[in-house]
Amino acid sequence: MVEQGAAYTMERRDNRCSNWWLVVAVTMPLVVVIACMAVTFHMYNTITSQQLVSEDMDKVEDHRYIFIQFDAIGDISDNEILKFKYFTSNKVGLADNKEIDIFCNGPYILHMYVCSKGLDKHHGQGRLELRLAGTQTALTNLTVEGGGDVICKGLYTNVYLRRKEKATLHFSSEGQTLKIKNVTLGLHYLLGQCQF
């Protein structure tokens, strides 16, 4: 009789263990599904909030960013300092419509959209240079090319500028073979806030 009781107890323990594995086998997929849903919901909220922030940045000028953005200008011939009318800026100024006043030390990105055309329907090449005002020191040198038709392209480069410097943008073409039809320019400070 003792043997029958021991056998019954062992059988009952085996049933409890198999029931426990059954509970784990059913619950684990449910836990994985809930975890995947939580991660998906979190990523959706993050992406949505970033889109809302970028839309708000487009609507409101944020004074943490330091930049100057210029209107398009047209018909630039050889060896000329470009003159701009700017439409928006923050902590970067413009003197005499040609000298960019720098108020913060650090790296900037200079970006522009340039449309050019070769003279007499021939291939032409030219350079756009950001220079320190009053000197021939070129801080950047961007090559512009054009053919018989107007060619438009975006250009950009990084440049380090210092506070109280003035910069100008010069255009020149080799053998006067290229003409700029129009250019839009922007200069953005890469560190966000002026620290120096």
Kindly report the average pLDDT of the chain as a whole number: 77
Average pLDDT over residues 23-48: 80
pLDDT tens, position by position, 161-192 = 988 899 988 888 877 888 888 888 888 888 87
pLDDT tens, position by position, 132-163 = 988 888 899 888 888 888 888 999 999 999 88
For residues 90, 94, 97 and 100, what is the CA-based torsion angle, rounded to 10 degrees?
-110
pLDDT at 56: 45
Q: Give the DSSP per-residue string, 133-147.
A: TTS--EEEEEEEEE-
In terms of Cα–Cα distance, which of 128, 126, 123, 158 is closest to 142? Answer: 128
Q: Which two tokens stand for residue 106?
A: 């650090």
Q: What percent of the chain has pLDDT over 70?
A: 74
Q: Which two tokens stand for residue 1?
A: 């009789």
C-beta separation of 65 from 189 below 8 A: yes
CA 99/CA 96 separation, integer angstroms:
6
The answer for residues whose C-beta is within 8 angstroms of residue 132's C-beta and 6 or more apart is: 139, 165, 166, 167, 168
C-beta separation of 122 from 107 below 8 A: no
pLDDT at 110 over 50: yes
Give the CA angle between residues 92, 77, 125 to the nearest 5°: 95
* CATH class of the structural domain 67-189: mainly beta
CA 81/CA 181 separation, integer angstroms:
15
